[in-house]
Structure 1
Amino acid sequence: MTRTVMQLFDLKGKTALVTGGSRGLGLQMAHALGEAGARIMLSSRKAGDLEEATADLQAAGIDARWIAADCAKEEDIRRLADETLQRMGDIDILVNNAGAAWGAPAEDHPVEAWDKVMNLNIRGYFILSQQVAKRSMIARRSGRIINVASIAGLGGNPPEMTTIAYNTSKGAVVNFTKALGAEWGKYNITVNAICPGFFPSKMTAATLKNLGEDKLAEHAPLRRLGDDEDLKGITVLYASDAGKHITGQWLAVDGGVSVVTGG
């Protein structure tokens, strides 16, 4: 029998692991998954931030827990997978969101900063996806992986924005998503990416200060930045059976910025 739309979007009985989930876009996505019925395991580096975020989710009636881990460190990633599986059982949904940025002109960009950004923003995504798939999703022939990329990964920047490592890493996330979606489709694992535009966050604070929120909003056809709801719909679509025939894809959630800039 064909399911209703509400049934297709229902995530009751599912478990989601969300990295970089203690604030900003990660916490917004965790709220979306929890509101759709999923149990949530949050992760980020700082226990205090995670305690606060978990309490926020629980206050909304969401079953949420947390594990502090640094997704730039392979041993932490493996521990995160171990503890999540031990405490929550199989992982149905993985949201790779932990990330870093670094601003510097390309000619002066420190190599160690390049390595830091690439290590967290793409290497960490690969290792955690591999761990979760091998230990939970492949054997069950079921899984949803959501990678957070960025419209910065779709092209270059205005001259005043010098984030070459970040842009490169997010471009890698887009192609990682395509390649992994193609390879793991045989296991009924979907892999998709979200490419946010400008959302007020700690990561974008310097850019917002330097360029001005109003100026950035003017570049968007919708004339505004992203808000606390704008990633919720696409997150639940990718995570649920409503999106079960979508894989290897990316979608810009940017108010139309990439349309006018050619991304």
Structure 2
Amino acid sequence: MENLFDLTGKVAVVTGASSGLGADAALAYAQAGADVALLARRIEKLNEVKAAIESTGRKVAAIACDVTKEESVKAAMEEVLSTFGHIDILLNNAGVAVRGGVDSMSVEEWDKSFDTNVKGIFLASKYVIPQMKERGYGKIVNIASVNAVIADKNDTFIRHSYNASKSAVLGLTKGMAASYARFGITVNAIGPALFESEMTAGTLFKSEQFLNAYNMVNPAGRPGKKGELNGSILFLSSDASSYVQGQFIIVDGGGALV
């Protein structure tokens, strides 16, 4: 039987690949057979991820890129194409979670959320989609969040700009999916709940009160574990999802159900 999840011969670009879920996904791509381009601002951290991927025997490149800056994204994608020749998969993973409600946060904090979480997807996609259209093939996976559809009333963890920007990712995903399907490009989104990462380790995972409350409410009784997002990412990045378009897969242990 054909392995629909096999990515041999594919080239995957991962933004926000220097740590956490992005680094995990990049390694999963390589293990599935893909060559991988790692994009993030911190080249030292990228090189650590690159070394891990090199051990799989796949081709890998680490490229410094700030997804909020158009010239940086343009230059990075040009380097990817020069190095690999084409791009089959784009995982828009770069993101930030700025704490605060609309009554307390600054305009700069609000803009930071949208610049990274929404503008970053726009810019990366802008410089990848043209060659996908030319080749008649592409898989774009946008990392949104379960917080695009649910919110936390706990004052300590209010993140209104995060809620709003991740909801915007869903709208962008649907619009892109509808427009580019005829070119053989699928565009879908994933909504992780709480996973331990560099972004959450120093905040949410430090609060025993929050974790106890989260575990009590969540049907799975725990946060997500390392690697548990990879199955959904590989599904939406492979030919296993060839007729899946504009969808939002929530990976949260059932938390959005309650």
With normalisation by structure 2, the TM-score equals 0.95
Aligned equivalent of 1:254: 252
User: 2 CA distance for matches of 1:215 and 1:48?
Assistant: 36
Q: What is the letter of the counterpart of residue 23 of structure 1?
A: S
- Give CA deviations for 1:56-113 in whole Å, capped at 9, x if unaligned: 1222443322101111111111111111111111100000011112112320110011
1:58 pairs with 50, 54, 79, which one? 54
Indicate the SS of the match to 2:13. strand
Aligned equivalent of 1:198: 194
Structure 2 residues without counterparts, runs of 5 or longer:
none
Aligned positions, number: 255
8 Å CA contact 2:67, 2:123 repeated in 1: no
Runs of 4+ deviating beyond 4 Å: none
User: 2 CA distance for matches of 1:218 and 1:62?
Assistant: 41
CA distance 1:215–1:155, shift in 2 (3 Å): closer
Indicate the SS of the match to 1:79. helix
2:138 pairs with 133, 136, 143, which one? 143
Indicate the SS of the match to 1:32. helix
Say yes or no: does 1:25 pair with 2:21: yes
User: 2 CA distance for matches of 1:52 and 1:64?
Assistant: 12
Say yes or no: does 1:209 pair with 2:184: no
8 Å CA contact 1:106, 1:162 repeated in 2: no
Q: State how 1:1-263 maps to structure 2 within 5 Å.
A: 4-6=1-3, 8-134=4-130, 136-160=131-155, 161-205=157-201, 206-210=203-207, 211-260=209-258
Structure 1 residues without counterparts, runs of 5 or longer:
none
8 Å CA contact 2:146, 2:252 repeated in 1: yes
Indicate the SS of the match to 2:36. strand
Alignment RMSD: 1.3
1:50, CA displacement in angstroms?
0.5
User: 2 CA distance for matches of 1:24 and 1:105?
Assistant: 26
8 Å CA contact 1:103, 1:162 repeated in 2: yes
Q: What is the letter of the counterpart of residue 206 of structure 2?
A: K
8 Å CA contact 1:19, 1:98 repeated in 2: yes
8 Å CA contact 1:197, 1:253 repeated in 2: yes
